[in-house]
A and B are shown apart, each in its own frame.
Chain A
């Protein structure tokens, strides 16, 4: 029969707090990483990306950190707002054909 599926990891934060969403990637040869935000009923929306020759990149209220030693990626959202509630995906690029491999996703819930 069908196995019971796993629920998405969830992160619940208070409005105004900082959020940190973590992601482990699998291939040490991946050279490009990207974070997407997916709101309910919509397609994934680009947030921020980083190449493997960097370990930190900042955007507006968001920061991505890359630790290649332990193959770990994180997304930090400052002053989290209710509009940040969504599922967040990390993705890695495995080859030059733009083949993005997506992680499991984390559901962020922001409490007002």
Chain B
């Protein structure tokens, strides 16, 4: 059973298009995240939701809009895609206990904007 899954795994699209990436976790976790990993492997948090409520919103262009229909799902919609949006996007989830914030990551979605 896949704990954190993302679709699609690869996404190739043209500048100016709008696209969505979906994430689902079957771990029963309350908190979910979106991260962006650039070509230099730098991994940066974008958003976090706890029980469908946005709790972390980093300095991300407002073309990026997360949506959490329920606590097992966190989707990422991107409007007016730009070349600089090309990256690998990771979804993660966690259930913090006793001050531990171990996060479980999905396999990633490689977005290529041409």
> Which of A6, A51, A87, A100 contacts B103, CB < 8 Å?
A100
CA distance A37 to B101 in the complex (A): 16
Name which of A5, A6, A32, A44 has the most chain B CB atoms within 10 A of its CB: A44
Cβ < 8 Å to B, chain A residues 15-52? 31-32, 34, 36, 38, 41-46, 49, 51
- A-to-B contact residues, CB < 8 Å: 5-6, 8, 31-32, 34, 36, 38, 41-46, 49, 51, 87, 89, 93, 97-102, 104-105
- Contacts A49-B100, A49-B102, A98-B96 hold; do A42 and B39 have CB atoms under 8 A apart? no
A99/B56 in contact, CB under 8 A: yes
**Closest Cβ–Cβ distance, residue B39 to chain A (whole Å):** 7
| B90–A97 touching, CB < 8 Å | no
List chain B positions with a Cβ less than 8 A from chain A: 4, 31, 33, 39-45, 48, 50, 55-56, 90, 92, 94, 96, 99-108
Q: A102 and B101 in contact (CB under 8 A), knowing A42-B107, A97-B56?
A: no
Residues of chain A lying within 8 A (CB to CB) of residue B56: 97-99
Are A102 and B99 touching (Cβ within 8 A)? no
In the bound assembly, the distance between CA atoms of A97 and B96 in angstroms comes to 9
User: Would A31 and B99 be within 8 Å (CB), given that A99-B48, A102-B44, A105-B41 are in contact?
Assistant: yes
Instruction: Beyond the given A44-B105, A97-B48, please list 19 additional residue pairs across the A-B interface where CB-CB is below 8 A.
Output: A5-B39, A8-B40, A31-B99, A34-B101, A34-B102, A43-B4, A43-B90, A43-B92, A43-B105, A44-B90, A49-B100, A87-B41, A89-B43, A98-B33, A98-B48, A99-B48, A102-B43, A102-B44, A105-B41
Most B CB within 10 A of own CB, among A43, A93, A102: A43
